[in-house]
Amino acid sequence: MRTLHARALTVSTIWTLGLLFLGSVVHATESSLACPDWPTCFGTMVPEMSGGVFWEHLHRLVAGGLLLLWGLTTWLVRREASDRPWLFRAALAGVGLLLVQSLFGGLTVLFELPDLVSTTHLALALLFLGLATAMASAVSWARRMGPLTPRASIALRRWGHAAAILVFAQSVLGGLVRHTDAGLACPDVPLCMGRLVPPLSNGPVALHFAHRVLGVLAALAVLGLAWRVARTEVPAAIRSWSRWTAVLVFLQVALGFLSVWARLAVVPVSLHTLLAASLLVALVHLTVTARVARVGPPTEAAAAAG
């Protein structure tokens, strides 16, 4: 039976995914400064929810909801998992991340969207997502897995760590591309300005091209992980998660292409962010699974059911 803190960690992870999606919608609809002040919106906490104010203030409300939810989660962890002090320390670290991330969200408004501050705001959100995912996986998701062979555990750790780091870096770089308005610096795909390697003396072009190159490396790492898992004896659930990472990579690349072709339309750009975050969740889960799952020969039932 799942404990309340395990459920709260899962809900927090899903909530954070929704918050990242909303943040992308806010930027894509050019609503980031629809509320010119912070933490109020036009001097009130209940502004008229119309136009860009709807998206910007909704984003703030959902962020506030996450703070409350994580506060409850931290209390539940303290009450139900006192035998695992590391879990409470991780929850407190999450509180700190959320508070600092909220502060950077306010600074983006008060200083009118400075590129590095806005990108840091995104990076902190992704770090919190990774932390929440790791905690949820350690206390709940990974515990339902069957045992891993030593070979599978090593493969998941090596490839999972590499892929997760690359996807995180790719997502942060994508945020910098977005906030510096370099999303259409390369107006064509898969080439850039009709070249395999464009002129890199132009800052926005070089930044956009670096985002694409890092995307290729991240995709190769994820596909390498899926390939290694497919060739290793693992529980069915892990095999399923690794397949989903491969699917997400192909969808993510397709959405990246579509975002350029559609001239940064709201839907593909926002889904592009959501899929990147979802891919990070899957990779963190697989990596944590390799650390907390029992190592040994999988039973026939575990291999079949996960």
Tens digit of pLDDT for each residue in 210-245? 999 999 999 999 999 999 999 888 888 889 999 999
Ranges 101-105, 117-121, 133-137, 152-156: which has the least confidence: 152-156
- Residue pair 56/93 in contact (Cβ under 8 Å)? The answer is no
pLDDT at 301: 40
Tens digit of pLDDT for each residue in 21-67? 999 999 999 999 999 999 999 999 999 999 999 999 999 999 999 99
Among 1.20.120, 2.60.40, 2.30.30, 1.10.3470, what is the CATH number of 147-306?
A: 1.20.120
| CB-CB neighbours of 194 under 10 Å | 9
- Residue pair 101/126 in contact (Cβ under 8 Å)? The answer is no
Given a cut of 60, whether residue 297 has pLDDT beyond it is: no
- Rounded Cα distance between 106 and 102, Å, is 6
Q: Tokens for 206?
A: 């070089």
Given a cut of 80, whether residue 9 has pLDDT beyond it is: yes
Mean of the pLDDT values across residues 108-121? 96
pLDDT at 110: 95
pLDDT at 305: 39
- Within the chain, all domains assigned CATH 1.20.120 are found at 147-306
Number of residues written out for the chain: 306
Given a cut of 70, whether residue 304 has pLDDT beyond it is: no
Confidence of residue 306 (pLDDT cuts 50, 70, 90): very low
**Identity of the highest mean pLDDT range in 11-20, 78-87, 136-145, 226-235:** 11-20
Residues 6+ apart with CB under 8 A from 201: none
Q: How far lies 7's CA from each of 137, 173, 182, 246, 254, in Å? A: 11, 32, 39, 27, 33
Pinpoint the alpha helices (H) of the chain: 4-28, 51-80, 85-110, 115-136, 150-179, 203-230, 236-261, 266-292, 300-305
Residue 29 is given by DSSP the state: T
CA 71 to chain CA centroid, Å, is 21
pTM: 0.93
| CB-CB neighbours of 113 under 10 Å | 14
- Work out the percent of the chain whose per-residue pLDDT is above 70: 93
pLDDT at 278: 97
